[in-house]
């Protein structure tokens, strides 16, 4: 009896064991097994640079937009020259809210290998950042360009002036371009009537004010208060989008005095390019018009002084406004950095 009881117990135990081994594992199939790196794996040796100290190619993938969190499409690839196999980790510090890194990885071979670093974080501002990649004692840098947050505006012309709109410019003088404190111009609903015409005021964070108006027919005007210029205060058409490339328009003759010389001046504007891309911003801005502003100057004896006054170049992009302004004669350079059109 004990013999049969022992056989029965053994049989039941075997059935119970087999049943436990045959449980449904379909739910577990979605979870990959954890990879445990053995402490005995040595640290890989190598460098991001070649023997001559040159950095390897670093390629940025994905789009980077202010305020938009990075996802699986945001990563970089880099080349590492491994001299000894083992575990390794490559990373960057956080710059403008973003950073890139690998998990702890193992390479079983040596030589040049391409690795992938996942992007993390959320860009804080629209700018071009320099980010340094680090592996052991070697470092290499790359540029990360972040675009402004997309915004759909009701404005469709070349110089939006809606209340709440602004543009931030890089600015500088001729000696050292685009290194000064950025300049922000905003439209905040302020207006001023000059000679019976209503101008909208663009005010800057550097206590500067500009006066603009438009007629809705493709003509854009500025009332220029130019205390440092040979020109007196005047209203002029800064842009005529109806003109073709090569066509010009100009002011009436202006009689003034500059450095004790009586002058007759004309401000002539010419379309140099139209419907082109503004490539100094990434991504490039389409539908841009380039305008040359040139002062033609003669004295009362008809001596021509025009060659002493360098022309100004202005670039206007549809739905954005003035994206660059180069006035070497006045040592003024502005280039768009960030904008928001209401």
Give the whole-angstrom CA distance, residue 142 versus residue 77.
11
Q: H or E stretch including 3?
A: helix 2-21
Residues 55/140, Cβ–Cβ less than 8 Å: yes
pLDDT at res. 121: 97
Q: Which residues contact 153 (CB under 8 A, 6 or more apart)?
A: 160, 162, 165, 319, 341, 342
Give the whole-angstrom CA distance, residue 149 versus residue 65.
6
Per CATH, is 45-145 categorized as 2.60.40.730? Answer: no
Give the whole-angstrom CA distance, residue 280 versus residue 316.
13
Give the whole-angstrom CA distance, residue 303 versus residue 262.
11
Which residues pair with residue 332 across a beta bridge?
Answer: 327
pLDDT at res. 282: 61
Angstrom CA distances, 220 to 69, 237, 295, 321, 327, stand at 39, 6, 19, 11, 19
Fold type of domain 166-340: YmcC-like fold (2.40.360)
- Residue 58 dihedral angles phi and psi, to the nearest 5°: -120, 120
pLDDT 10s per residue in the chain (342 long)?
333 333 333 333 333 333 343 444 433 334 444 444 455 789 999 999 988 889 988 999 998 999 999 999 999 999 999 999 999 999 999 999 999 999 888 888 899 999 999 999 999 998 899 999 999 999 999 999 998 876 667 888 999 999 999 999 988 765 555 557 889 999 999 999 999 999 999 999 988 999 999 999 999 999 998 765 666 788 999 999 999 999 999 999 999 888 888 999 999 999 999 999 988 766 678 899 999 999 999 999 999 999 999 999 999 999 999 999 999 887 888 999 888 888
What residue spans define the domains of the chain?
Answer: 45-145, 166-340
pLDDT at res. 24: 42
């Amino acid at each position: 009896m004990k013999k049969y009881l022992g056989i029965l117990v053994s049989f039941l135990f075997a059935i119970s064991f087999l049943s436990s081994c045959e449980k449904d594992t379909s739910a577990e199939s979605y979870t990959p097994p954890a990879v445990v790196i053995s402490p005995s794996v040595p640290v890989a040796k190598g460098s991001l640079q070649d023997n001559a100290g040159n950095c390897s190619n670093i390629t940025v993938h994905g789009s980077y937009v202010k305020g938009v969190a990075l996802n699986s499409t945001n990563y970089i690839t880099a080349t590492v020259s491994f001299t000894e196999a083992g575990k390794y980790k490559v990373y960057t510090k956080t710059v403008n809210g973003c950073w890139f890194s690998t998990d702890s990885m193992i390479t079983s071979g040596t030589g040049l290998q391409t690795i992938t670093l996942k992007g993390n974080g959320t860009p804080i501002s629209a700018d071009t950042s320099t980010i340094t990649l680090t592996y052991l004692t070697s470092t290499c840098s790359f540029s990360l360009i972040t675009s402004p947050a997309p915004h759909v505006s009701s404005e469709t012309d070349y110089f939006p002036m809606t209340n709440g709109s602004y543009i931030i410019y890089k600015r500088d003088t001729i000696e050292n371009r685009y290194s000064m404190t950025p300049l922000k111009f905003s439209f905040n609903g302020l207006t001023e009537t000059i000679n019976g015409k209503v101008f909208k005021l663009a005010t800057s964070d550097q206590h500067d004010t500009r006066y603009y108006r438009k007629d809705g027919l493709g003509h854009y005007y500025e009332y220029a208060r130019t205390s440092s210029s040979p020109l007196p205060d005047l209203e002029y058409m800064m842009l005529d989008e109806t003109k073709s490339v090569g066509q010009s328009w100009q002011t009436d003759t202006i009689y003034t005095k500059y450095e004790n010389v009586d002058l007759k001046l004309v401000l002539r504007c010419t379309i140099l390019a139209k419907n082109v891309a503004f490539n100094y911003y990434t991504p490039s801005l389409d539908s841009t018009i380039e305008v040359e502003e040139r002062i033609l100057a003669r004295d009362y004896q008809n001596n021509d002084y025009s060659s002493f006054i360098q022309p100004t170049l202005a670039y206007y992009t549809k739905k954005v406004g003035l994206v660059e302004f180069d006035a070497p004669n006045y040592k003024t350079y502005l280039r768009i950095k960030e904008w928001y059109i209401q």
